[in-house]
Amino acid sequence: MKALRYLMVFSVPLTVYISFTSSGWITFLTLIYVFGIVPLADFFLKVDAVNFNKEQEEIEKNNKLYSSILYLTLPTQIFFLVWFLFVIQDTSNTIDLIGRISAMGIMCGVVGINVGHELGHRKNRLEQLLGEILLLTSLETHFLPYHNAGHHFNVATPEDAATAKKNELLYVFWIRSQIMSYIEAWKIENKRLKTSDRTWFHHQNRMIIYTIAHIILLSSIYFFFGLVVMLYFLAAATIGILLLETVNYIEHYGLLRKKNKFGRYERVKHTHSWNSNHVIGKLVLFNLSRHSDHHYNGSKHYQILKSLPESPQMPTGYPGMMLLSLIPPIWFKLMNKKLQEI
Protein backbone atom coordinates (compact mmCIF):
# COMPACT_ATOMS: atom_id res chain seq x y z
CA MET A 1 0.00 0.00 0.00
CA LYS A 2 2.94 2.33 0.55
CA ALA A 3 3.60 2.36 -3.20
CA LEU A 4 0.11 3.71 -3.95
CA ARG A 5 1.06 7.02 -2.34
CA TYR A 6 3.16 7.80 -5.39
CA LEU A 7 0.06 7.73 -7.58
CA MET A 8 -0.19 11.34 -6.41
CA VAL A 9 1.96 12.22 -9.43
CA PHE A 10 -1.18 11.70 -11.54
CA SER A 11 -2.79 14.66 -9.79
CA VAL A 12 -0.69 16.75 -12.18
CA PRO A 13 -2.17 15.21 -15.38
CA LEU A 14 -5.60 15.63 -13.77
CA THR A 15 -5.07 19.38 -13.53
CA VAL A 16 -3.78 19.40 -17.12
CA TYR A 17 -6.98 17.64 -18.20
CA ILE A 18 -9.03 20.39 -16.55
CA SER A 19 -6.85 23.02 -18.23
CA PHE A 20 -7.36 21.49 -21.67
CA THR A 21 -11.13 21.18 -21.24
CA SER A 22 -11.81 24.57 -19.63
CA SER A 23 -11.29 28.22 -20.44
CA GLY A 24 -10.30 31.37 -18.61
CA TRP A 25 -8.28 31.42 -15.40
CA ILE A 26 -8.93 27.71 -14.74
CA THR A 27 -6.52 26.86 -17.58
CA PHE A 28 -3.80 27.93 -15.11
CA LEU A 29 -4.88 25.25 -12.62
CA THR A 30 -1.70 23.19 -13.10
CA LEU A 31 0.41 26.24 -12.29
CA ILE A 32 -1.77 27.06 -9.29
CA TYR A 33 -1.64 23.47 -8.05
CA VAL A 34 2.10 22.83 -8.39
CA PHE A 35 3.30 26.25 -7.24
CA GLY A 36 0.42 27.27 -5.01
CA ILE A 37 -1.47 24.41 -3.41
CA VAL A 38 1.49 22.00 -3.08
CA PRO A 39 3.87 24.52 -1.42
CA LEU A 40 1.08 25.67 0.89
CA ALA A 41 0.27 22.10 1.90
CA ASP A 42 3.96 21.33 2.44
CA PHE A 43 4.25 24.39 4.66
CA PHE A 44 1.49 23.25 7.01
CA LEU A 45 1.92 19.46 6.93
CA LYS A 46 4.41 17.71 9.18
CA VAL A 47 7.61 16.60 7.41
CA ASP A 48 8.22 12.89 6.92
CA ALA A 49 11.82 11.89 7.69
CA VAL A 50 10.99 8.25 8.40
CA ASN A 51 13.14 5.61 6.69
CA PHE A 52 12.48 1.93 6.11
CA ASN A 53 14.35 -0.48 8.33
CA LYS A 54 16.53 -3.11 6.61
CA GLU A 55 13.77 -5.69 6.43
CA GLN A 56 11.21 -3.23 5.06
CA GLU A 57 13.73 -1.81 2.62
CA GLU A 58 14.35 -5.22 1.08
CA ILE A 59 10.61 -5.82 0.71
CA GLU A 60 9.92 -2.41 -0.85
CA LYS A 61 12.98 -2.62 -3.07
CA ASN A 62 11.56 -5.74 -4.74
CA ASN A 63 7.98 -4.44 -4.93
CA LYS A 64 7.34 -4.10 -8.68
CA LEU A 65 4.39 -1.78 -8.12
CA TYR A 66 6.81 1.13 -7.62
CA SER A 67 8.27 0.62 -11.09
CA SER A 68 4.82 0.01 -12.59
CA ILE A 69 3.77 3.48 -11.48
CA LEU A 70 6.80 4.90 -13.28
CA TYR A 71 5.96 2.94 -16.44
CA LEU A 72 2.39 4.23 -16.37
CA THR A 73 3.64 7.80 -16.67
CA LEU A 74 4.95 7.12 -20.20
CA PRO A 75 1.61 6.49 -21.97
CA THR A 76 0.13 9.29 -19.84
CA GLN A 77 2.79 11.77 -20.97
CA ILE A 78 2.51 10.77 -24.63
CA PHE A 79 -1.30 10.91 -24.55
CA PHE A 80 -1.32 14.40 -23.08
CA LEU A 81 1.37 15.63 -25.45
CA VAL A 82 -0.57 14.47 -28.51
CA TRP A 83 -3.78 15.89 -27.04
CA PHE A 84 -1.95 19.17 -26.41
CA LEU A 85 -1.00 19.42 -30.09
CA PHE A 86 -4.64 19.06 -31.12
CA VAL A 87 -6.15 21.29 -28.44
CA ILE A 88 -3.59 24.08 -28.79
CA GLN A 89 -4.22 24.15 -32.53
CA ASP A 90 -7.80 25.21 -31.85
CA THR A 91 -6.99 27.64 -29.02
CA SER A 92 -7.35 31.27 -30.03
CA ASN A 93 -7.92 33.02 -26.69
CA THR A 94 -4.62 34.39 -25.35
CA ILE A 95 -5.38 33.51 -21.72
CA ASP A 96 -6.32 29.94 -22.63
CA LEU A 97 -3.24 29.67 -24.84
CA ILE A 98 -0.83 30.70 -22.09
CA GLY A 99 -2.62 28.60 -19.48
CA ARG A 100 -2.54 25.42 -21.56
CA ILE A 101 1.07 25.89 -22.63
CA SER A 102 2.07 26.36 -19.00
CA ALA A 103 0.09 23.24 -18.03
CA MET A 104 1.83 21.09 -20.65
CA GLY A 105 5.19 22.63 -19.76
CA ILE A 106 4.83 21.80 -16.08
CA MET A 107 3.81 18.25 -16.96
CA CYS A 108 6.92 17.98 -19.16
CA GLY A 109 9.03 18.90 -16.15
CA VAL A 110 7.26 16.93 -13.42
CA VAL A 111 6.42 13.81 -15.43
CA GLY A 112 8.58 13.81 -18.55
CA ILE A 113 11.95 14.93 -17.21
CA ASN A 114 11.70 13.83 -13.58
CA VAL A 115 10.53 10.29 -14.32
CA GLY A 116 12.93 10.15 -17.28
CA HIS A 117 15.69 10.92 -14.80
CA GLU A 118 14.64 8.10 -12.47
CA LEU A 119 14.39 5.52 -15.26
CA GLY A 120 17.61 6.77 -16.83
CA HIS A 121 19.48 5.59 -13.75
CA ARG A 122 18.17 2.04 -14.07
CA LYS A 123 20.53 -0.69 -15.28
CA ASN A 124 17.87 -2.37 -17.43
CA ARG A 125 18.16 -1.13 -21.03
CA LEU A 126 14.39 -1.21 -21.58
CA GLU A 127 13.83 1.04 -18.57
CA GLN A 128 16.54 3.38 -19.82
CA LEU A 129 14.76 3.53 -23.19
CA LEU A 130 11.49 4.48 -21.48
CA GLY A 131 13.39 7.25 -19.71
CA GLU A 132 14.84 8.46 -23.00
CA ILE A 133 11.38 8.63 -24.58
CA LEU A 134 10.07 10.62 -21.62
CA LEU A 135 12.99 13.05 -21.89
CA LEU A 136 12.40 13.33 -25.65
CA THR A 137 8.92 14.74 -24.97
CA SER A 138 10.70 17.75 -23.43
CA LEU A 139 13.61 17.82 -25.91
CA GLU A 140 16.01 17.13 -23.03
CA THR A 141 17.55 13.78 -24.01
CA HIS A 142 21.12 15.04 -23.59
CA PHE A 143 20.34 15.15 -19.87
CA LEU A 144 21.04 11.42 -19.46
CA PRO A 145 24.66 11.16 -20.67
CA TYR A 146 25.68 14.31 -18.83
CA HIS A 147 23.71 13.66 -15.66
CA ASN A 148 24.90 10.07 -15.21
CA ALA A 149 28.52 10.40 -16.30
CA GLY A 150 29.12 14.10 -15.68
CA HIS A 151 26.94 15.56 -12.96
CA HIS A 152 27.17 12.56 -10.63
CA PHE A 153 30.95 12.53 -11.03
CA ASN A 154 31.58 16.28 -10.68
CA VAL A 155 28.70 17.31 -8.42
CA ALA A 156 29.48 20.04 -5.86
CA THR A 157 32.59 21.16 -7.74
CA PRO A 158 33.26 24.10 -10.09
CA GLU A 159 33.62 21.55 -12.92
CA ASP A 160 29.93 20.64 -12.75
CA ALA A 161 27.61 22.63 -15.00
CA ALA A 162 24.59 21.61 -12.89
CA THR A 163 25.96 22.81 -9.54
CA ALA A 164 24.97 26.40 -8.74
CA LYS A 165 27.70 28.58 -7.30
CA LYS A 166 27.15 30.70 -4.22
CA ASN A 167 25.54 34.04 -5.19
CA GLU A 168 24.95 32.86 -8.77
CA LEU A 169 21.69 34.20 -10.17
CA LEU A 170 19.15 31.56 -11.13
CA TYR A 171 18.64 33.25 -14.50
CA VAL A 172 22.36 33.07 -15.29
CA PHE A 173 22.47 29.47 -14.09
CA TRP A 174 19.64 28.50 -16.46
CA ILE A 175 21.77 29.45 -19.47
CA ARG A 176 25.11 28.20 -18.14
CA SER A 177 23.81 24.82 -17.00
CA GLN A 178 21.81 24.07 -20.12
CA ILE A 179 24.50 25.06 -22.62
CA MET A 180 27.45 23.56 -20.76
CA SER A 181 25.66 20.28 -19.97
CA TYR A 182 24.79 19.92 -23.67
CA ILE A 183 28.42 20.48 -24.69
CA GLU A 184 29.67 18.12 -21.98
CA ALA A 185 27.19 15.44 -23.09
CA TRP A 186 28.83 15.43 -26.53
CA LYS A 187 32.30 15.25 -24.94
CA ILE A 188 31.26 12.34 -22.72
CA GLU A 189 29.88 10.37 -25.66
CA ASN A 190 32.92 11.14 -27.81
CA LYS A 191 35.25 9.97 -25.03
CA ARG A 192 33.21 6.81 -24.47
CA LEU A 193 33.43 5.87 -28.14
CA LYS A 194 37.11 6.75 -28.36
CA THR A 195 37.95 4.26 -25.60
CA SER A 196 36.48 1.51 -27.79
CA ASP A 197 38.31 2.71 -30.93
CA ARG A 198 35.22 4.19 -32.54
CA THR A 199 34.90 7.62 -34.10
CA TRP A 200 32.44 10.18 -32.71
CA PHE A 201 30.37 9.75 -35.88
CA HIS A 202 29.10 6.32 -34.96
CA HIS A 203 25.60 4.90 -34.63
CA GLN A 204 26.31 4.12 -30.97
CA ASN A 205 26.85 7.81 -30.20
CA ARG A 206 23.73 8.54 -28.18
CA MET A 207 23.94 12.26 -28.88
CA ILE A 208 23.66 11.61 -32.62
CA ILE A 209 20.66 9.32 -32.06
CA TYR A 210 19.07 11.90 -29.75
CA THR A 211 19.62 14.68 -32.27
CA ILE A 212 17.97 12.64 -35.02
CA ALA A 213 15.06 11.84 -32.67
CA HIS A 214 14.60 15.55 -31.91
CA ILE A 215 14.59 16.42 -35.60
CA ILE A 216 12.04 13.69 -36.37
CA LEU A 217 9.76 14.81 -33.52
CA LEU A 218 9.86 18.49 -34.45
CA SER A 219 9.52 17.74 -38.16
CA SER A 220 6.49 15.53 -37.50
CA ILE A 221 4.80 18.23 -35.44
CA TYR A 222 5.53 20.79 -38.15
CA PHE A 223 4.26 18.49 -40.91
CA PHE A 224 1.01 17.48 -39.20
CA PHE A 225 0.20 20.60 -37.18
CA GLY A 226 2.13 23.49 -38.72
CA LEU A 227 4.74 26.00 -37.61
CA VAL A 228 2.65 27.78 -34.97
CA VAL A 229 1.82 24.58 -33.08
CA MET A 230 5.45 23.54 -33.25
CA LEU A 231 6.41 26.85 -31.64
CA TYR A 232 3.81 26.29 -28.91
CA PHE A 233 5.32 22.88 -28.27
CA LEU A 234 8.78 24.44 -28.07
CA ALA A 235 7.42 26.90 -25.51
CA ALA A 236 6.01 24.05 -23.40
CA ALA A 237 9.26 22.08 -23.66
CA THR A 238 11.19 25.18 -22.63
CA ILE A 239 9.07 25.49 -19.49
CA GLY A 240 9.85 21.86 -18.66
CA ILE A 241 13.58 22.48 -19.17
CA LEU A 242 13.51 25.61 -17.00
CA LEU A 243 11.81 23.61 -14.25
CA LEU A 244 14.61 21.04 -14.48
CA GLU A 245 17.30 23.71 -14.30
CA THR A 246 15.58 25.40 -11.36
CA VAL A 247 15.58 22.07 -9.52
CA ASN A 248 19.27 21.66 -10.40
CA TYR A 249 19.88 25.13 -8.99
CA ILE A 250 18.29 24.48 -5.61
CA GLU A 251 19.66 20.93 -5.19
CA HIS A 252 23.33 21.83 -4.78
CA TYR A 253 23.37 25.61 -4.40
CA GLY A 254 26.65 26.79 -2.85
CA LEU A 255 27.78 23.32 -1.76
CA LEU A 256 31.39 22.36 -2.53
CA ARG A 257 33.50 19.27 -2.02
CA LYS A 258 36.92 19.79 -0.50
CA LYS A 259 40.20 18.78 -2.13
CA ASN A 260 42.70 16.50 -0.43
CA LYS A 261 46.48 17.01 -0.36
CA PHE A 262 46.76 15.32 -3.77
CA GLY A 263 44.41 17.84 -5.36
CA ARG A 264 41.55 15.38 -5.72
CA TYR A 265 38.04 16.08 -4.58
CA GLU A 266 36.73 14.19 -1.61
CA ARG A 267 34.13 11.50 -2.20
CA VAL A 268 30.55 12.69 -2.64
CA LYS A 269 28.91 12.77 0.79
CA HIS A 270 25.39 13.26 2.08
CA THR A 271 26.37 16.86 2.89
CA HIS A 272 26.71 17.80 -0.78
CA SER A 273 23.00 18.05 -1.66
CA TRP A 274 20.09 20.02 -0.21
CA ASN A 275 17.21 17.86 0.98
CA SER A 276 13.56 18.18 1.86
CA ASN A 277 11.20 15.76 3.61
CA HIS A 278 8.06 17.79 2.98
CA VAL A 279 5.37 15.28 2.19
CA ILE A 280 3.47 16.39 -0.93
CA GLY A 281 6.44 17.57 -2.97
CA LYS A 282 8.31 14.39 -2.02
CA LEU A 283 5.53 12.13 -3.31
CA VAL A 284 4.79 14.06 -6.50
CA LEU A 285 8.50 14.09 -7.39
CA PHE A 286 9.18 10.43 -6.50
CA ASN A 287 11.47 11.21 -3.55
CA LEU A 288 13.71 13.44 -5.66
CA SER A 289 14.01 15.71 -2.63
CA ARG A 290 15.96 13.00 -0.78
CA HIS A 291 18.73 14.01 -3.09
CA SER A 292 21.78 13.33 -0.94
CA ASP A 293 21.09 9.62 -0.79
CA HIS A 294 20.44 9.61 -4.53
CA HIS A 295 23.93 11.02 -5.14
CA TYR A 296 25.46 8.64 -2.67
CA ASN A 297 24.04 5.77 -4.72
CA GLY A 298 22.66 6.86 -8.09
CA SER A 299 21.18 3.46 -8.98
CA LYS A 300 19.14 3.27 -5.76
CA HIS A 301 15.41 3.12 -6.54
CA TYR A 302 13.39 6.13 -5.48
CA GLN A 303 11.20 4.32 -2.93
CA ILE A 304 14.11 3.33 -0.66
CA LEU A 305 16.01 6.62 -0.63
CA LYS A 306 16.82 7.64 2.93
CA SER A 307 16.68 10.87 4.86
CA LEU A 308 19.85 11.24 6.91
CA PRO A 309 20.49 13.76 9.71
CA GLU A 310 23.78 14.99 8.22
CA SER A 311 22.08 16.06 4.98
CA PRO A 312 21.44 19.83 4.83
CA GLN A 313 17.71 20.51 4.93
CA MET A 314 15.70 23.08 3.02
CA PRO A 315 13.17 25.15 4.97
CA THR A 316 10.34 23.96 2.72
CA GLY A 317 9.62 21.55 -0.13
CA TYR A 318 11.04 21.68 -3.66
CA PRO A 319 8.12 23.63 -5.25
CA GLY A 320 8.32 26.28 -2.52
CA MET A 321 12.11 26.55 -2.82
CA MET A 322 11.81 26.88 -6.58
CA LEU A 323 9.52 29.88 -6.07
CA LEU A 324 11.98 31.47 -3.63
CA SER A 325 14.86 31.00 -6.09
CA LEU A 326 13.02 33.26 -8.55
CA ILE A 327 13.58 36.17 -6.14
CA PRO A 328 17.38 36.40 -5.75
CA PRO A 329 17.55 38.79 -2.73
CA ILE A 330 15.28 36.52 -0.66
CA TRP A 331 17.01 33.36 -1.89
CA PHE A 332 20.53 34.64 -1.12
CA LYS A 333 19.55 35.93 2.30
CA LEU A 334 17.95 32.63 3.26
CA MET A 335 20.32 30.11 1.71
CA ASN A 336 23.62 31.91 2.32
CA LYS A 337 22.76 31.95 6.00
CA LYS A 338 22.04 28.22 5.90
CA LEU A 339 25.37 27.64 4.12
CA GLN A 340 27.14 29.21 7.09
CA GLU A 341 25.40 26.79 9.43
CA ILE A 342 26.73 23.68 7.64
Express each pLDDT in 322-332 by its tens digit.
999 999 999 99
Q: How confident is the model at residue 196 (pLDDT cuts 50, 70, 90)?
A: confident
Mean pLDDT of the chain: 95
Q: How confident is the model at residue 299 (pLDDT cuts 50, 70, 90)?
A: confident
Q: How confident is the model at residue 214 (pLDDT cuts 50, 70, 90)?
A: very high
Per the structure, the complete domain to which residue 258 belongs is given by: 2-341
Confidence (pLDDT) at 172: 98
Using the predicted structure, report yes or no on whether residue 342 has a pLDDT greater than 90. no
Q: How confident is the model at residue 181 (pLDDT cuts 50, 70, 90)?
A: very high
CA distance 119 to 116: 5
The answer to whether 66 and 118 have CB atoms below 8 angstroms apart is no
Q: How confident is the model at residue 31 (pLDDT cuts 50, 70, 90)?
A: very high
Instruction: State what percent of residues in the chain have pLDDT above 70.
Output: 100
Using the predicted structure, report yes or no on whether residue 128 has a pLDDT greater than 90. yes
Count of C-beta atoms within a 10 Å radius of residue 311: 22
Count of C-beta atoms within a 10 Å radius of residue 148: 18
DSSP secondary-structure letter at 163?
A: S
| Mean pLDDT, residues 134-144 taken together | 97
Q: How confident is the model at residue 111 (pLDDT cuts 50, 70, 90)?
A: very high
CA distance 116 to 205: 19
Query: Could you read off the pLDDT of 40-73 as tens digits, one per residue?
Result: 999 889 899 999 999 999 999 999 999 999 999 9
Q: Which residues pair with 259 in a beta bridge?
A: 265
Domain count, the chain: 1
Confidence (pLDDT) at 61: 93
Query: Could you read off the pLDDT of 84-93 as tens digits, one per residue?
Result: 999 999 999 9
- Report the predicted TM-score, pTM, of the whole model to 2 decimal places: 0.96
CA distance 288 to 62: 19
Confidence (pLDDT) at 283: 94
| Mean pLDDT, residues 261-288 taken together | 93
